[in-house]
Structure 1
Amino acid sequence: MQAHEHSLKDYLTGLVLAIILTVIPFWVVWSSAFPAKPLFAIIALCALVQVLVHLRFFLNISLKRTGKDYLTALFFAGVLIFIMAGGTIWILFDLNFRMM
């Protein structure tokens, strides 16, 4: 296994990006600056970028240095999370539709 060297600068950069990507959705919802559909898109985009920030800066996963088996397992975990989250959202919207 390869050793990954990261400095305090890398961790602080990741921390600042994570804080910014957390504050943006809170501010957008709090300010009511956008209608519902763009609001959900902004939240989803910030969440996706934040996952990538965490993978890169905190979990030290890089596409250049990571083995194929590890990336395959990571991709499989991502697909499972997408199916579970997407299925939950689908069920909740369907239940909301049926109750109205």
Structure 2
Amino acid sequence: MVTKPYFSRTIIPQEDRPLFSRGPYRFTRHPYHSGFFFITLGITMFISGHWLSIVSTFLFIGSALHYRMSLEESYYQKQYGDIYPVWCRHRFRLLPFLY
């Protein structure tokens, strides 16, 4: 795992955390959030099998993740400064090749 020593469930400022560009971070800025989104989508599709589960996952989980990613990105912008927007331009936010 690329970020194992730095992983936490809360947004905790860690001054020594590097900006990763290898592993899943080559494609997305938030690979843990992407994984959580796809797992939730898969579980809701498996349980219900209805197209509304896709819509509800995008609405509820997507909006919660969007809020969380906004908080994280504002923190990273402060921590890394001008290099962070350049790093972001080469990576998708949540869904590879879509968003």
TM bracket, shorter-chain basis: 0.3 to 0.5
TM-score (norm 1): 0.41
User: Greater CA radius of gyration, 1 or 2?
Assistant: 1
| Greater per-residue helix proportion | 1
TM-score (norm 2): 0.41
